[in-house]
Amino acid sequence: MLASMTFNRPSQGEPLSVGFVLLHRFTLLPFAAFVDCLRLAADEGDRSRQLRCHWTFMTSAGQEAVSSCGAAVSPCLSFRDPTEFDYIVVIGGVQDERDRVDTTALAYLRQAAGAGVPLVGLCTGVFALIQAGLMKRRRCCVSWYHHRDMLQRFPATQPVADRLFIDDGDRLTCAGGAAAADLAAYLVERHLGKAWAMKSMNIMLLDEARAGTHPQPQPVVFGKIEDRLVRRAITLLEQHLGEVVTIEVLAERVGTSRRNLERRFRETLGVSPQKFSRDLRLRYGVWLLHYTGKSITEIGERCGFADTAHFSRQFRGAFDMTPSEMRKRAGEPGSDRVDPFFLHIEGRPAL
């Protein structure tokens, strides 16, 4: 169930004002991607004047903010009146310091929520929103990498790890990384118009902004493939996990013959392209079972299997358990989740 409340948004064309709450050892890429999208939309060319967009960097005592890689942002201000901003964006830090809680920042986030200011959780910033008690009965977007950690620490949450960001009205959450640019462009387009969002993305050498529903990249292949032709074929298979690509089509796409492609796969990987493709789609199924709430039927379809029965048979043959059994095992307290990077299929380690 999605919670909702009414809040004021600036009319399109008015300056967009964003306050950043930078927590200790915040992740640098989502911060840089988000703020640079604002910077490029704020002014003509690359002049960086805060005309159409305003931004303010804040920490609990106005101290410099040190990122997870050691780079520092300075100067920062202490927390301002939250009503000065159209959005407050909180960017979290590394999760091995979970005992280090910035209570001043959490109180500020609660104050902002009480004032009706929309809150944005970037990357692990969503953990701070949860700690502040501001995500009850709400879905929250999280990176697949932090999905399990969130469930273990906050079992009552509804984490979503198969999309880039979620707009829940007065709460927006983003998986982080480069997806922060997509969310920033989404907000720029909402308030300033599509042209300004496109200008930012183009200067950042990014394609047109991806929608929040765009899937996160899934880790289905691990390891270095030396053969360039095989590597190109694998890339194509990764891009078509939801369908069966025939060997003829695959060979044509990479510019070789079926016989040569099969020979190169066997020499490099020890399996045929057909089997590799099937195993790849099954690993994707494991990822979806662990990191999404999609039904078995939906997962089978997304993995390119004709029906649920076919998917279940192939799955049992590969992992010696049904999809339902694997999902149940993954949800048991204290159980170790299967990492798709290191899956074994029919006695063969994942690549």
Nearest Cα neighbor of 226 from 171, 265, 273 is 265
What is the model's pLDDT at position 334? Answer: 57
- The CATH 1.10.10.60 domain(s) of the chain lie at 228-349
Q: What percentage of residues in the chain have a pLDDT greater than 70?
A: 87
Tally Cβ neighbours within 10 Å of residue 15: 14
Model pTM greater than 0.85? no
CATH architecture of 16-203: 3-Layer(aba) Sandwich (3.40)
Tally Cβ neighbours within 10 Å of residue 322: 15
Nearest Cα neighbor of 53 from 85, 79, 23, 82 is 85
Q: How far is CA 151 from the centre of its chain?
A: 16
**Does the structure show a pLDDT above 80 at 75?**
yes
What is the model's pLDDT at position 177? Answer: 94
Residues 6+ apart with CB under 8 A from 122: 27, 30, 31, 34, 89, 90, 91, 92, 174, 176, 180, 183
Beta bridge partners of 16: 53
- 342: pLDDT confidence band, cut at 50, 70 and 90? very low
Size of the chain in residues: 351
Kindly state the tokens that stand for 55: 């931004």
**Does the structure show a pLDDT above 90 at 51?**
yes
| Superfamily of structural domain 228-349 | Homeodomain-like (1.10.10.60)
Distance CA 174, CA 181 (A): 10
What is the model's pLDDT at position 6? Answer: 42
Residues 6+ apart with CB under 8 A from 315: 282, 285, 321, 322, 323, 326
What is the model's pLDDT at position 294? Answer: 86
- For residue 75, say if its preceding peptide bond is cis, omega within 30 degrees of 0: yes
**Does the structure show a pLDDT above 90 at 71?**
yes
Distance CA 198, CA 188 (A): 9
Give, in order, the Cα–Cα distances in Å from 344 to each of 31, 99, 283.
Answer: 37, 35, 9
- The CATH 3.40.50.880 domain(s) of the chain lie at 16-203
Tens-digit pLDDT profile for residues 195-226: 999 999 999 999 889 999 888 876 655 566 88
Q: Is 114 helix (H, G, I), strand (E, B) or coil?
A: helix
- 259: pLDDT confidence band, cut at 50, 70 and 90? very high
Distance CA 72, CA 235 (A): 37
Range scoring the smallest mean pLDDT among 75-84, 98-107, 304-313, 336-345: 336-345
What is the model's pLDDT at position 130? Answer: 96
Q: What are phi and psi of 140, to 5 degrees?
A: -140, 135
**Does the structure show a pLDDT above 60 at 5?**
no
Tens-digit pLDDT profile for residues 300-336: 998 999 899 999 999 999 999 999 999 888 777 655 5
DSSP 44: S
Distance spanning both ends of the chain, measured CA to CA: 39
Tally Cβ neighbours within 10 Å of residue 80: 13
**Does the structure show a pLDDT above 80 at 227?**
yes
What is the model's pLDDT at position 13? Answer: 55
**Does the structure show a pLDDT above 90 at 255?**
yes
- 241: pLDDT confidence band, cut at 50, 70 and 90? confident
DSSP 230: H
Give, in order, the Cα–Cα distances in Å from 70 to each of 28, 75, 121, 175, 306.
Answer: 9, 16, 21, 21, 49
Distance CA 34, CA 197 (A): 12
**Does the structure show a pLDDT above 70 at 50?**
yes
Kindly state the tokens that stand for 194: 């599509």
**Does the structure show a pLDDT above 70 at 96?**
no
Distance CA 65, CA 163 (A): 29
